[in-house]
């Protein structure tokens, strides 16, 4: 797709912002902005391995979920402007530190810059590249990453358009995320492993929300039917933590119960999904990384 910085339509918001003059809905302007680059031990075991994933957290986000677990960098302007050349250096520094992979978190609104940095790094990069996103991305934008990304790690957050509208003002989320997932699967093909580490393939994450277990189960049935339960690894997350009191959606003001999480896990197992199911005890705000411009 053609990227026009003065009329941005890079993501499904298609807000048309002139990013040389003002930020779009995503918070992105005309340069890369990142909040942290460091080895990260808390991804799925096949991504974090024993030494950690070389994670770069980008500032801003196209989704703005009302329950965001990383609001410090997604909604607030925290971070530092960097050039694509500096991002290339960061990739190589993370590789030097022993990272198992380069893990790009919520970079959808910076895809053209990131693609350039990856192209530059590629001759020296010996580790896989992981695209870690909220799943709300245009397939044509993802095509810019074809051949540059090895592992896709998208969320699939909502299945009901009303839930997506209420919690993220994005009623088209289910359809957009499904089309994006099809594109990711097409790019990666069959899963490839290096020992316990995934070096090519797709992992779909789903955070079970309080009061929404039936929606989660319906999503799993749909994905199994549409793509097949073995098309990707599934990571079912239990760590939903209310970050603030939400007066409009009080159902979001609690953690999920063991029963809710276990019922979704059982559905996933019955459908034949393979992947990662968390201990319910991991529902703790300490999973939120400390953003301090480390490594930027
Ligand atoms: S990437 Fe940002 S500026 Fe571009 S369309 Fe999406 S929200 Fe608007």
Output the residue whose Cα is nearest ligand 1's atom 3: 24
pLDDT given for residue 78 in this prediction? 84
Phi-psi region of 64 (alpha: psi -120 to 50; beta: other; left: phi over 0): left
Separation of alpha carbons 191 and 201, rounded Å:
4
Give how many domains the chain has, as a whole number: 1
Residue 13 included in any domain:
no
Residue 295's pLDDT is: 86
Percent of the chain predicted with pLDDT > 90: 88
**Is 73 domain-assigned?**
yes
**Residue 174 included in any domain:** yes
Helix axes 84-96, 111-121, angle to 10 degrees: 50
Residue 86: domain span: 32-287
Calculate how far, in angstroms, residue 227's C-alpha sits from the geometric centre of ligand 1.
Answer: 29
Residue bearing the bigger pLDDT, 191 or 72: 191
The CATH number for 50's domain is 3.20.20.70
In angstroms and rounded to an integer, the radius of gyration of the C-alpha atoms of the chain is 18
Which atom from ligand 1 is nearest to the alpha carbon of 109? 1
Report pLDDT for 74. Answer: 74
CA of 61 to the centre of ligand 1 (A): 9
Domain membership flag for residue 21: no
Query: Does the residue 189 lie in any domain?
Result: yes
Among the atoms of ligand 1, which is closest to the Cα of residue 19? 3
CB-count burial class (<10 Å; 0-12, 13-18, 19+) for 59: buried
Angle formed by the axes of helices 173-188 and 161-168, nearest 10°: 100
Residue 234 phi, psi (nearest 5)? -110, 130
Residue to substitute in 4, 6, 62, 144 for testing ligand 1 pocket (most ligand atoms within 8 angstroms of CB): 62
Q: Does residue 24 form part of some domain?
A: no
Instruction: Report the chain's mean pLDDT, rounded to a whole number.
Output: 93
Position 296 in a domain = no
pLDDT of residue 72 exceeding 90, the answer is: no
The average pLDDT across 129-141 equals 98
Higher pLDDT, 269 or 72: 269
CA 92 to CA 89: how far, in whole Å? Answer: 5
Residues 120-138, mean pLDDT to the nearest whole number: 98
* Ligand 1 binding pocket, CB closer than 6 Å: 8-11, 13-15, 17, 19, 24-26, 28, 62, 109
Q: Average pLDDT in the 172-200 region?
A: 98
Q: Does 90 map to a domain?
A: yes
**153-157, 182-186, 241-245, 284-288: which range is least confident on average?**
284-288
- pLDDT beyond 60 at 100: yes
């Amino acid at each position: 797709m053609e990227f026009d910085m003065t009329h941005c339509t890079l993501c499904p918001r298609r807000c048309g912002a002139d990013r040389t003059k003002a930020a779009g809905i995503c918070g992105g302007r005309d340069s890369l902005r990142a909040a942290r680059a460091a080895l990260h031990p808390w991804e799925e075991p096949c991504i974090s391995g024993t030494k950690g994933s070389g994670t770069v957290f980008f500032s801003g986000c196209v989704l703005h979920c009302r329950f965001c677990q990383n609001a410090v960098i997604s909604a607030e302007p925290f971070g530092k402007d960097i050039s694509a050349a500096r991002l290339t250096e960061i990739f190589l520094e993370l590789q030097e530190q022993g990272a198992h992979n380069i893990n790009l978190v919520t970079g959808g609104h910076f895809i053209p810059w990131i693609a350039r940095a990856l192209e530059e790094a590629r001759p020296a990069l010996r580790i896989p590249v992981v695209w870690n996103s909220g799943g709300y991305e245009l397939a044509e934008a993802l095509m810019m990453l074809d051949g540059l990304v090895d592992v896709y790690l998208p969320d699939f957050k909502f299945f009901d358009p009303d839930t997506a509208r209420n919690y993220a003002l994005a009623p088209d989320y289910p359809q957009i995320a499904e089309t994006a997932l099809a594109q990711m699967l097409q790019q990666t093909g069959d899963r490839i492993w290096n020992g316990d580490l995934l070096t090519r393939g797709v992992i779909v994450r789903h955070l079970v929300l309080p009061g929404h277990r039936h929606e989660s189960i319906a999503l799993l049935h749909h994905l199994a039917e549409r793509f097949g339960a073995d098309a990707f690894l599934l990571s079912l997350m239990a760590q939903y933590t209310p970050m603030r009191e939400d007066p409009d959606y009080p159902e979001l003001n609690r953690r999920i119960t063991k029963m809710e999480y276990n019922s979704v896990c059982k559905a996933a197992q019955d459908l034949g999904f393979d992947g990662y199911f968390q201990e319910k005890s991991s529902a703790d705000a300490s999973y939120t990384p400390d953003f301090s411009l480390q490594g930027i």
